[in-house]
């Protein structure tokens, strides 16, 4: 019995030591941190960073390195970017186990004209204690307060340490949530430095704005419509391509989220000066596809091809392509505030940018024709918002609610039948009529089937979930405006049948 008691005491002590080791640490592995410039507007970019790796030095220090990033060149050359080991608050965090001293270290950065420097943080010393925080230049720090406060979104309560530097800057540190506010330690330009504040609580991948479960939250039967217009120096596009994607299935395992889909495109070509096109429409074949995303890393595959975009944080970069001297990088732009107009929706959007190498060390965004961007929305969950294609239409189900945005009219000839052999056939009578109609099914509907009524431009004006085995449904048209409508039966596997009906005045 004594042995069990001692084991319990030892385990409790170990847990307490582990918790103490995490207390006051500015940054921790496995979490994504988000910062905005103090007093920033809602449209400002949110800077995201994380600890990429950790190791122990021969002297016993624990070292946590931040993700490398692209930085803007110094003032006077702001169109260009260069690779830097430093992030917003330096290149790494150093900590000696058994102490409460944390050092943020900035590497030598000749391109920005900055030398190496260190900022020493001591959040657990007695209030009023002063120490030397940095040598280049000489800076002293004083712990001015340590109190229990509420902050964050969602609101949390924790002990906060406020450290005031001799140069007037202020650092705020939470016992559990790390660095809350500090001045950028790596200055990209001459002039006043920027104060950054934590805009979201630190979170692991699946609880962050980069979560695959938020960026890809689709169900069987959801439709997504994209429009692509190749760049034209004359201002008018030579062609326009409409692509409709329909989700067929969704499967979630312990480590991945997998979708299958059907897709079809239609290209319109125009008579525009400088375009050597034959005016007309070209309808492409119906193709199948697969989209898979890792729940551990966030890495995306579309039709077995790996996408380099996700889930890079602010300034992170990967090789997009390299052909001879033309080397391109895809670079994370952080979180941008979503535009609620159109179908893009509100909320934070992870965004990415292509950069082109202009010299041995410098890269640029290039001309507008080449400045390809890509963004995803965690509020919509439909995947890519814009890039080579732009989201223009969607129809999707969450719970029992059907939501549409944009018009399906431009995509009307694409994927017309789903899998017509799966969805039950039906007829509607009387059609046309000025009153209600009755929909009669040839066979009983399977579980999870829905009946949707769309107006002439593809907007949902009514919908209902059918009971398993149901064969007859009332279409409530009596109160609807006169005109043409589409009655669409959608089954849980993504198949559908549709029939046009007419409401008389």
User: Residue 41 falls within a domain, yes or no?
Assistant: yes
Instruction: Give the Cβ contact number of residue 501 at 10 Å.
Output: 19
Distance of alpha carbon 89 from alpha carbon 66, whole angstroms:
9
SS3 9: helix
Give yes or no: residues 92 and 156 share one domain: yes
Q: Which residue has the tokens 């961007």?
A: 373
Cis-peptide into 311, omega within 30 deg: yes
Cis-peptide into 137, omega within 30 deg: yes
Domain that holds residue 464: 426-503
Strand ranges (E), 276-359: 280-283, 287-294, 300-302, 305-307, 317-323, 326-337, 348-357
pLDDT at 40: 63
According to DSSP, residue 90 is labeled B
Judge if pTM exceeds 0.85.
no
44: phi then psi, degrees, rounded to nearest 5: -70, 150
Distance of alpha carbon 102 from alpha carbon 27, whole angstroms:
10
Distance of alpha carbon 373 from alpha carbon 480, whole angstroms:
42
User: Residue 306 falls within a domain, yes or no?
Assistant: yes
Report which secondary-structure segment, H or E, holds 37: strand 32-37
Give yes or no: residues 87 and 124 share one domain: yes
pLDDT at 91: 94
User: Residue 13 falls within a domain, yes or no?
Assistant: no
Give yes or no: residues 114 and 149 share one domain: yes
Domain boundary, last residue among 156, 182, 202: 202
User: Residue 453 falls within a domain, yes or no?
Assistant: yes
User: Residue 495 falls within a domain, yes or no?
Assistant: yes
Distance of alpha carbon 176 from alpha carbon 280, whole angstroms:
62
How confident is the model over 335-392, as pLDDT tens digits?
Answer: 988 766 678 877 888 988 888 888 888 888 866 544 567 889 888 899 888 877 889 9
Q: Which residue has the tokens 């399906």?
A: 408
Domain boundary, last residue among 387, 411, 435: 411
Give yes or no: residues 401 and 443 share one domain: no
Domain holding 442: CATH number? 2.60.40.1220
Give yes or no: residues 104 and 192 share one domain: yes
pLDDT at 417: 55
Instruction: Give the Cβ contact number of residue 398 at 10 Å.
Output: 12
Give yes or no: residues 453 and 348 share one domain: no
Distance of alpha carbon 140 from alpha carbon 131, whole angstroms:
6
Give yes or no: residues 195 and 252 share one domain: no
How confident is the model over 422-454, as pLDDT tens digits?
Answer: 667 788 888 888 888 888 888 887 877 888 888
| Residues 304/344, Cβ–Cβ less than 8 Å | no
Give yes or no: residues 150 and 283 share one domain: no
pLDDT at 449: 82
User: Residue 390 falls within a domain, yes or no?
Assistant: yes
Give yes or no: residues 98 and 218 share one domain: no
| Residues 288/302, Cβ–Cβ less than 8 Å | no
| Count of domains for the chain | 3
- Token pair of 245, please? 């994607």
Cis-peptide into 173, omega within 30 deg: no
pLDDT less than 70: residues of the chain: 1-22, 40-44, 75-78, 187-192, 231-235, 274, 277, 321-326, 339-341, 366-372, 399-400, 417-423, 456-458, 492-494
């Amino acid at each position: 019995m004594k042995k069990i008691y001692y084991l319990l005491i030892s385990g409790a002590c170990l847990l307490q030591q582990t918790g103490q080791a995490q207390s006051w640490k500015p940054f921790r592995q496995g979490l994504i941190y988000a910062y905005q410039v103090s007093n920033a507007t809602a449209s400002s970019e949110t800077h995201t960073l994380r600890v990429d790796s950790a190791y122990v030095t021969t002297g016993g220090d624990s070292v946590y390195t931040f993700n490398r990033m692209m930085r803007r060149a110094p003032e006077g050359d702001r169109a260009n970017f260069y690779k830097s080991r430093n992030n917003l608050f330096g290149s790494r965090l150093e900590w000696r186990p058994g102490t409460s001293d944390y050092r943020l270290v900035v590497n030598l950065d000749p391109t920005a004209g900055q030398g190496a420097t260190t900022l020493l943080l001591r959040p657990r010393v007695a209030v009023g204690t002063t120490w030397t925080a940095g040598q280049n230049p000489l800076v002293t720090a004083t712990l001015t307060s340590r109190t229990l406060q509420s902050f964050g979104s969602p609101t949390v309560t924790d002990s906060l340490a406020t450290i005031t530097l001799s140069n007037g800057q202020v650092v705020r540190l939470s016992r559990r949530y790390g660095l809350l506010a500090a001045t950028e330690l790596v200055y990209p330009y001459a002039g006043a430095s920027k104060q950054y504040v934590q805009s979201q609580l630190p979170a692991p991948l699946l609880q962050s704005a980069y979560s695959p479960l938020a960026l890809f939250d689709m169900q069987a039967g959801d439709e997504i419509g994209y429009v692509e217009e190749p760049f034209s120096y004359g201002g008018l596009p030579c062609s326009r391509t409409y692509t409709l994607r329909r989700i067929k299935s969704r499967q979630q395992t312990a480590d991945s989220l997998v979708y299958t889909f059907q897709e079809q495109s239609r290209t319109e070509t125009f008579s525009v000066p400088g375009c050597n096109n034959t005016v007309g429409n070209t309808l492409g074949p119906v193709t199948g596809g697969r989209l898979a995303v890792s729940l551990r890393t966030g890495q995306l595959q579309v039709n077995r091809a790996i996408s380099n975009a996700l889930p890079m944080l602010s300034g992170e970069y990967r090789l997009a392509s390299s052909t001879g001297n033309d080397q391109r990088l895809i670079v994370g732009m952080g979180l941008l505030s979503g535009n609620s107009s159109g179908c893009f929706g509100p909320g934070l959007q992870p965004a990415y940018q292509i950069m082109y190498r202009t010299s041995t060390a410098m890269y640029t965004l290039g001309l507008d024709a080449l400045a390809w961007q890509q963004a995803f929305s965690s509020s919509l969950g439909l995947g890519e918002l814009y890039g080579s294609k732009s989201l223009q239409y969607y129809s999707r189900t969450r719970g029992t609610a059907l939501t549409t945005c944009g018009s399906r009219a431009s995509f009307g000839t694409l994927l017309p039948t789903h899998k017509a052999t799966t969805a039950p056939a039906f007829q509607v009578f009387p059609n046309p009529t000025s009153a209600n109609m009755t929909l009669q099914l040839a066979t009983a509907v399977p579980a999870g089937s829905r009946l949707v009524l769309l107006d002439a431009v593809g907007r949902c004006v009514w919908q209902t979930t059918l009971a398993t085995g149901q064969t007859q449904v009332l279409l409530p048209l009596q109160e609807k405006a006169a005109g043409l409508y589409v009655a669409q039966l959608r089954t849980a596997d993504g198949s559908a049948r549709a029939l046009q009906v007419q409401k008389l005045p």
